[in-house]
Amino acid sequence: MTTADAWSTKPATALLVLADGSVIEGEGLGATGEAVGEICFNTAMTGYQEILTDPSYAGQIITFTFPHIGNVGTNDEDIETVNMAAESGIRGCVLNASITDPSNYRASRHLDQWLKARGLIGISGVDTRALTALIREKGVPNGVIAYHPDGQFNLDALKKMAAEWPGLEGMDLAKDVTTTQTHPWDETSWEWDKGYGHTKEAEFNVVALDFGIKRNILRLLTDAGCKVTVLPANATAEDVLAYNPDGVFLSNGPGDPAATGEYAASTIKAVVEKGIPTFGICLGHQMLALALGGKTMKMHQGHHGANHPVHDHTTGKVEITSMNHGFAVDTASLPETVEETHVSLFDGSNCGIRLKGKPVFSVQYHPEASPGPRDSHYLFKRFTDFMRDAKSA
Amino acid sequence: MPKRTDISSILIIGAGPIVIGQACEFDYSGTQACKALREEGYRIILVNSNPATIMTDPELADATYIEPITPEIVAKIIEKERPDALLPTMGGQTALNCALALEEMGVLEEFGVEMIGAKADVIEKAEDREKFRAAMDVIGLENPRAAIASSPAIRNEAGKIIGYDRNVGFMEAMRALDDIGLPAIIRPAFTMGGTGGGVAYNREEFETIARSGLDASPNGQILIDESLLGWKEYEMEVVRDKADNCIIICSIENFDPMGVHTGDSITVAPALTLTDKEYQIMRDASIAVLREIGVETGGSNVQFAVNPENGRLVVIEMNPRVSRSSALASKATGFPIAKIAAKLACGYTLDELENDITGGATPASFEPSIDYVVTKIPRFAFEKFPGSEPTLTTAMKSVGEVMAIGRTFQESLQKALRGLETGMNGLDEAEILGLGQGDDTNAIRAAISVPTPTRILNVAQAMRLGMSLEDIHAASGINPWFLEQMHAIVKMEDKVREHGLPQNAKALRQLKSMGFSDARLASLTDKDAADVAKLRDELDVHPVYKRIDTCAAEFASPTAYMYSTYEAPFMGAPACESNPTDKKKVVILGGGPNRIGQGIEFDYCCCHAAFALEEAGYETIMVNCNPETVSTDYDTSDRLYFEPLTVEDVLEIIRTEQKNGTLHGVIVQFGGQTPLKLAQALVRANVPILGTSPDMIDLAEDRDRFQKLLIKLGLKQPENGIAYSVEQGRLIAGKLGLPLVVRPSYVLGGRAMQIIRDEEALNSYLLGTLPELVPAEVRAKYPNDKTGQINTVLGTNPLLFDRYLEGAIEVDVDALCDGKDVFVCGIMEHIEEAGIHSGDSACSLPPFSLSAEMIDELKRQTTAMALALEVGGLMNVQYAIKGGEIYVLEVNPRASRTVPFVAKTIGEPVAKIASRIMAGESLASFGLTEKKLTHVAVKEAVFPFARFPGVDTILGPEMRSTGEVMGLDKAFPIAFAKSQIASNTAVPESGTVFVSMRDQDKAGVVDACRRLSEAGFKIIATSGTQKYLEEQGIACDKVNKVLEGRPHIVDAIKNGEVQLVFNTTEGAQALSDSRSMRRAALLQKVPYYTTLAGSVAAAKGIVAYKAGNLEVRPLQSYFG
């Protein structure tokens, strides 16, 4: 190699093409090809594998604000996807630094190989801070992530693809990531030196409606003493009631709550009207609000991170939470019967509701954490307390 | 919950003098606390003996007590001020210990003072090893396994302890071994520097070390800890409010594995090698620790060790207060921990407080998310303490630190390495000892397995020599992730060496984004740094600036707290967030990492420049890389660049700032040598420099030019000469005669400065001391030619010889000048004789023995020099007075170490006035008039000798003190006594004084001995002195010198029979004979005065102190 060649730069192997036609260059990683989605950012500094496997990100391309992603590799324990058969929800990821070899005793695979195996496209070498600032200023853009090792791209086609993608608004994505069949769950939380456990005995019979549920939610329900049966997103009220549940859980999930709510809200409404204790998280929270007569709306940049402060009006305490949502419940739209219980201390947006006087409540954020702080695990106890009260009544 | 209204006045205790382990980070936290609580309308009473702090500026508190921080004296302040509350968490261990003592003495109860921030029982639970361990058991967290083996006391019939049964202690140690396992760490109790302890890897070693440890411990006790060598070390910075809201501000991961004190470790934020599951376990554990220990409000840090093999986590310790690492975390994230902790202590909850950095867009109740990597590297001073081993252990030895911010670890690491100012431009090549002697692998292994200040360079060198990363990890214990990152740098260096620099912007930018400095790239390609800078300019490769915003750009930040990075272009050009304003601006260059000779005093001056120029209507722009300081607080200046102080980094900032508005100028004379070294390069780049011209600063440092000026002004210098070679050195020494003071030119803090008293010392200086100063590249150029190497260095940095004025009085003078008028701010008379570095000697303002004529003459000479040097701003002159003659020793036309001391003594903001003069205002406009002081201030230095076993404590021309205190009173004796108490000297009120004076000092000490004798002290002396004192009618017993046989004076000191030592010596032999005595006195904490003037001053002070004349007074009351 001659000296001049040694420093010759190759064309970019990956691109991020925004719907407005702007192009960001970088190095490709993971799978090759192209994918379209909404580009959001996540400010968490740990837990990239949990984020990349969270079905709620379906239809999205995640920009990690922390520059070093991949340090601890990947393992088989930190996966949040329940329905492994479904196509990966997330469309791709945007990184600042290139991926290093893993350095952690639990690592079993390099992140690059792992992304490739899951068919996920990544791009590194991007000024993710500038991209974050752009999202902050202009709102979440739609875009295409593309990786071709030879650096040959049909830019016009990519621009067209980005521009024509309709966006998440009005999109029902839960149907793509939900379980296809009903199944039981008995795995408990991860413990150091023990891994995951299983439970045999349970105090409560809970039905979880899966709109893209994370494993850690199911584990925390199990920890709290629930025997959980997971039902698909399109389950009807009859399907749910057939299990004669002590409580019903409404899961997180991707897409527009209004779209998924078109078929799920009626199920939820029927359950609530039966007086069954109900607990919702994220998309489940939004659809509970819809079922109770409220409205949801698309947010400017959404909340994605593990440092979001939430005020619990019922206790006066602040909890640091894990968040991941691009839609929110419009507080003003809530009917008289519903009270706001939690609010974001960042922007005052709604973070929790309760049906007044009823054992029905939900939160916008992720009390199951994984990744993120575990300050809000208490909500699972709140749910079981409701069920216990209902049972003894 | 809003702030408390049931309290209205709060006492804040500072940290006292700068010492190793407690540096200016406590000025930063204390200053924040004073400002935060004052803003709430509380009356603030502050006590701190350190005059060089910003917190002791009279505007920061309602009553500022520059008094010693002892429980007795703080009790007097409490009695006088009757504060409602005491905040003990801002002044390090000093403040915590003092508060605990006040609680135990019943002072707090007596005067109804409530401890806020941390209660006494909380402090005890956190600090007491056993109580802490029990608390961790309660919450199910592991401590390292540990045991204490104690030898029972053996008593005589009267019940007095006459020894310890160490065999019993040994049996106990062997029993503990089963529980703890091997390897085990053995630490003897109550010894300094870990003498007698060590790491045992097998049973036999355990037996040997346990025995030696029990012997070394004065009470026959050893602590046995499970060895966590090689484990990963972490720290979590936690803040909690009274509503039990807990947040983690920052996680820190140590580059060096367990075994090195975290203050001496290279550390990185945030933690980089934890999965979320591990991180959350650590987060939950940190919060559980705060809850269990009971820290109700404020900041704390919790340290953890994690076994890299299996993730097992143990708690090492916690500090229930703000700390060095909380200052680091504040600077690393932009979250002001001390400020928030202070607000929480007075009743607020986190959600009621704003996050300043986002301009209040978000509350303080959140966890900062960062989108960059922060690296901290400590700075050491082993070279100042000959005989000390540069090995890093669990006892902290570093004297300062640098912090650097980069988008990636590589960028931040290389920025930190060059910001350290120890001559490194990056991962410079290192010499590995023992190579080529048969077993290279073992030589390399030895160089990377023992932690030393330069281990990181050895690690990079090991990579260059081809050692595998696995082997390096096995030998050093450094996490493979860090090694891989370093390896990428080393590989890229190879590529640059082979192929030269890239000639296209993209590749050059990528290279720069790994953190390579121009200087490093130049040395890899045999070019000048200027060539690299030129290439960058041609290809338009410049850094961009990103903001530190606590939130990873999620919210817009109005705060201009910035760092540089070489980012990839984003939709065209690299995205820069500096947004320079259109204002008229001044750039202030800070002092970089603290070191002996350049510490907090210079940061004080830089802060004052920022305050003064803001008042004068300029936009102030600070550049510094020291995380401990007030200058790197984002609200000290209008804009803050947290950057290394190198030519490259500073010129890039100036280039950016000049894109908009007007750069009025750069201040280089306030940050010590660091910015001065950059002055010439700034001038060459046509950057306006404010104040005294760099040419005049150079004139003052250039022996020949300066001599010509003095001759022109008719002023005297000690006879002197310059040597450009070893041979010339001998000739000059012969011509001037001994004793001599010798030093290399252009040095700071008197590095390698010595007094040469005999031929042997001259030889050992020329052929022993000088070779240590030869840079590696010169050594490599002339291998096996020691003299050639030295002469090469001397060719450009000659040796300066001065006739040593034995027994002269040294005087420091600080003056302000605008080129037209001169105002002499302070004349300080040293208590020690000339020849001891001015930073190490005690001094008095005003002078205590100079005549009015002499003082007038000093003013006249100072004025003449200031005008001749066209000083704009500050000037410091050091004089020696002998036989009624004044000799000029040194002139520094810039801010000196004494500026804050002088400012506080005379009650004028000297540094602020200097800044405004530099910006163009006239001295006359400040209306300064000379006022006769009705009080006396004594400055005393503090030394780190106890941390360096085996080092001689005698003072000399090389500066070795880490900090200073001020004693303030209406008269000299008590001011002096206060300075001694404040510098941790146990001022005796009774007992025995040992006196041994050289002949010329005997007469002078008589009066001092008489006073002490009358005050009830017993006097003992060596034969000559004893005879002389008896002749003068002073009752006095004889004691043997060390060479005269036992029992001798060292035995007496070790037995606790001596409470005070006066000892002056003559000649090299006597000096070395008395070394064991100095060391014994240090270990027994017996005050030891090595000069006549110091002895006399001490006697006066002790007598006055004993008479009960010590009163406390706030600084403000001295200036009505």
Which DSSP state fits B769? Answer: I
Instruction: Say yes or no to pLDDT of B467 above 80.
Output: yes
Please report whether residue A272 resides in a domain: yes
A299 and B CB contact within 8 Å = no
**Are A143 and A207 in a shared domain?**
no
In terms of domains, do A139 and A199 share one? Answer: no
pTM for the model stands at 0.95
DSSP bridge pairs for B665: B586
Q: Domain spans of chain B?
A: 9-116, 146-155+164-226, 234-368, 580-700, 719-803, 805-947, 963-1106
> In terms of pLDDT, which residue wins out, B465 or B127?
B465
For the segment B800-849, what is each residue's pLDDT rounded down to a tens digit?
Answer: 899 999 889 999 999 999 999 999 999 999 998 888 899 999 999 999 99
Contact A299, A328 (CB under 8 A): yes
Does residue B750 surpass a pLDDT of 80? no
User: CB contact, 8 Å: A3 with chain B?
Assistant: yes
Question: Which of these ranges, B48-62, B718-732, B741-755, B782-796, has the smallest mean pLDDT?
Answer: B741-755
Question: Using one digit for the tens of pLDDT, what is the confidence trace for B855-890?
Answer: 999 999 999 999 999 999 999 999 999 999 999 999
Same domain, A245 and A355: yes
Please tell me the distance in Å from B324's CA to the nearest CA on chain A: 23
Binding-face residues of A in 172-231 toward B, CB within 8 A: 190, 192-193
Three-class SS state of B161: strand
A82 and A100 co-located in one domain: yes
Check if A366 is active-site.
yes
Q: What is the CATH number of the domain that holds A121?
A: 3.50.30.20
B1018-1075 tens-digit pLDDT: 999 999 999 999 999 999 999 999 888 889 999 999 888 999 999 988 777 777 778 8
Rounded distance between C-alpha atoms, residue B813 and residue B811, angstroms: 7
First vs last C-alpha separation in chain B: 39
For residue B216, what pLDDT is reported? 79
Catalytic residue, chosen from A40, A93, A282, A351, is A282
Q: Are residues A152 and A233 in the same domain?
A: no
Spatial CA neighbour of B553 closest among B534, B532, B535, B567: B567
Q: What angle do CA B867, B868, B870 make, to 5 degrees?
A: 60
pLDDT number for residue A2: 56
**Residues β-bridged to residue A144:** A17, A36
Residue A3 belongs to some domain of the structure: no
Rounded to 10 degrees, the C-alpha dihedral A66/A71/A74/A79 comes to: -30
Please report, rounded to a whole number, the percentage of residues in chain A having pLDDT higher than 90.
95
Are A128 and A202 contained in the same domain?
no
Given an 8 Å threshold on Cβ–Cβ distance, is A126 in contact with B350?
Answer: no
Give tens-digit pLDDT for B392-424: 987 889 999 999 999 999 999 999 999 999 999
What is the pLDDT at residue B990? Answer: 93
What is the average per-residue pLDDT within B510-517?
Answer: 98
CATH T-level topology, domain B234-368: D-amino Acid Aminotransferase; Chain A, domain 1 (3.30.470)
Q: How deeply is B1017 buried, as exposed, middle or buried, from its count of CB atoms within 10 A (0-12, 13-18, 19+)?
A: buried
pLDDT of residue B479 exceeding 70, the answer is yes
Residue B754 confidence (pLDDT) above 70: yes
Same domain for A38 and A69, yes or no, is: yes
Domain harbouring A178, CATH code: 3.40.50.880
Is the model's pLDDT at B749 over the cut of 60?
A: no
Residue with tokens 């936009």: B619
| Residue that has been written with the tokens 């004028």 in this structure | B908
Instruction: Output the CA angle B521-B524-B527, nearest 5 degrees.
Output: 75
Judge if A182 and A77 occupy the same domain. Answer: no
pLDDT tops 70 at residue B80: yes
Does A179 reside within a domain? yes
Known binding positions of B for ATP: 129, 187, 193-194, 226, 228, 233, 259-261, 303, 317, 743, 803, 805, 810, 835-838, 878, 890
**Averaged pLDDT of chain B:** 93
Question: With bands split at pLDDT 50, 70 and 90, how would you rate the model's confidence at B198?
Answer: confident
Bridge partner list, B941? B964
Q: How many domains does chain A have?
A: 2
DSSP codes of every residue in B1021-1076:
E-HHHHHHHHHTT---EE-B-GGG-SSBHHHHHHTT--SEEEE---HHHHHHHTHH
A18 with A66, same domain? yes
In this predicted model, what pLDDT tens digit does every residue of B313-325 receive, in sequence order?
999 989 999 999 9
Q: Which of B142, B554, B555, B576 to mutate to probe the A interface, most A CBs <10 Å?
A: B554
Looking at residue A200, what is its pLDDT?
83
Under CATH, to which class is B805-947 assigned?
A: alpha beta
d(CA A264, CA A242): 17
Task: Give the residue numbers spanning the domain of A380.
Answer: 174-392
- Give residue B148's pLDDT band: very low, low, confident or very high (50, 70, 90): confident
The answer to the question of residue A219 being in a domain is yes
DSSP E strand boundaries for B925-1050: 936-942, 963-969, 992-996, 1018-1021, 1037-1038
Mean of the per-residue pLDDT values for chain A? 95
Q: Do domains B9-116 and B580-700 have the same CATH topology?
A: yes
pLDDT attached to residue B746? 61
The predicted pLDDT at position B765 comes to: 87
CATH number for the domain formed by residue range(s) B963-1106: 3.40.50.1380
- Is A256 within the bounds of a domain? yes
Domain boundary among A106, A129, A164: A164
> Edge to edge, what strands does the sheet with B221-226 contain?
B146-150, B221-226, B184-188, B198-200
**Residue B477 in this model has a pLDDT that exceeds 80:** yes
Q: Mean pLDDT, to the nearest integer, of B55-80?
A: 97
CB contact (8 A) between residue A106 and residue B275: yes
Judged by a CB distance cut-off of 8 A, whether residue A155 touches chain B is no
For B501, the closest chain A residue by CA position comes to: A7
Percentages (nearest 5) of helix, strand, coil residues in chain A = 25, 30, 40
Domain B580-700 of CATH type 3.40.50.20: yes
Residues A234, A305 share a domain: yes
Does position B780 have pLDDT exceeding 80, yes or no?
Answer: no
Domain-located, residue A341: yes
Q: At what angle do helices B129-138 and B276-293 cross, to 10 degrees?
A: 120
Residue B98: is its pLDDT beyond 80? yes
| Closest-CA distance of chain A to residue B274, Å | 7
Q: Between A50, A133, A318, which is nearest B365 by CB?
A: A318
Model confidence at B142, pLDDT cuts 50, 70, 90, reads very high
Q: Which residues, in sequence order, are CB contacts of B583 under 8 Å at separation 6+? A: B618, B619, B661, B662
Whether residue B47 is predicted with pLDDT greater than 70 in this model: the reply is yes
Averaged pLDDT for residues B985-996: 93
Query: DSSP assignment, residue B765?
Result: I
Class at the top of the CATH hierarchy for domain B146-155+164-226: alpha beta
Q: Considering the domain boundaries, does residue A269 fall inside one?
A: yes
Interface mutation vs chain A, best among B237, B249, B277, B407, most A CBs within 10 Å: B277
Give the pLDDT confidence of B280-300 residue by residue, as tens digits: 999 999 999 999 999 989 999
Q: Average pLDDT in the B249-273 region? A: 95
Give A 224-263 residues with CB within 8 A of chain B. Answer: none
The CATH number corresponding to B719-803 among 3.90.1150.10, 3.30.1490.20, 3.30.559.10, 3.40.225.10 equals: 3.30.1490.20
Could you say which of 3.40.50.10800, 3.40.50.20, 1.10.3720.10, 3.40.50.300 is the CATH number of the domain covering B9-116?
3.40.50.20
Active site residue A282: yes
Domain boundary among the residues A123, A138, A164 is at A164
Task: Report whether B219 contacts B154 (CB < 8 A).
Answer: no
Mean pLDDT (whole number) for B529-540: 97
| Confidence class for position B768, pLDDT limits 50, 70, 90 | confident
Q: What is the dihedral of CA B270, B274, B275, B276, to 10 degrees?
A: -50
Q: Which of A71, A72, A73, A111 is nearest to A93 (CA)?
A: A111
Pick from B311, B350, B495: CB nearest A192: B311
Last residue of a domain, one of A164, A187, A209: A164
User: Distance from B578 to chain A by nearest Cα, in Å?
Assistant: 13
User: Based on the domain organization, do A179 and A160 belong to the same domain?
Assistant: no
Query: What is the DSSP annotation of A158-185?
Result: HHHHHHH---STT---HHHHS-SS-EEE
Would A2 be classed as within a structural domain?
no
> pLDDT tens across B217-226, in order?
878 888 898 8
Q: Encode chain A (393 residues) as per-residue pLDDT tens digits.
A: 556 688 988 899 999 999 999 999 999 999 999 999 999 999 999 999 999 999 999 999 999 999 999 999 999 999 999 988 777 689 999 999 999 999 999 999 999 999 999 999 999 999 999 999 999 999 999 999 999 999 999 999 999 999 999 999 999 999 999 999 999 999 999 999 999 999 988 999 999 999 999 999 999 999 999 999 999 999 999 999 999 999 999 999 999 999 999 999 999 999 999 999 999 999 999 999 999 999 999 999 999 999 999 999 999 999 999 999 999 999 999 999 999 999 999 999 999 999 999 999 999 999 999 999 999 999 999 999 999 999 998
Place of tokens 């910006």: B919
| pLDDT higher than threshold 80 for residue B949 | no
On whether A73 is known to bind a ligand per the annotation, the reply is no
Distance from CA of A80 to the nearest CA of B (A): 13
A64 annotated among ligand-binding-site residues? no
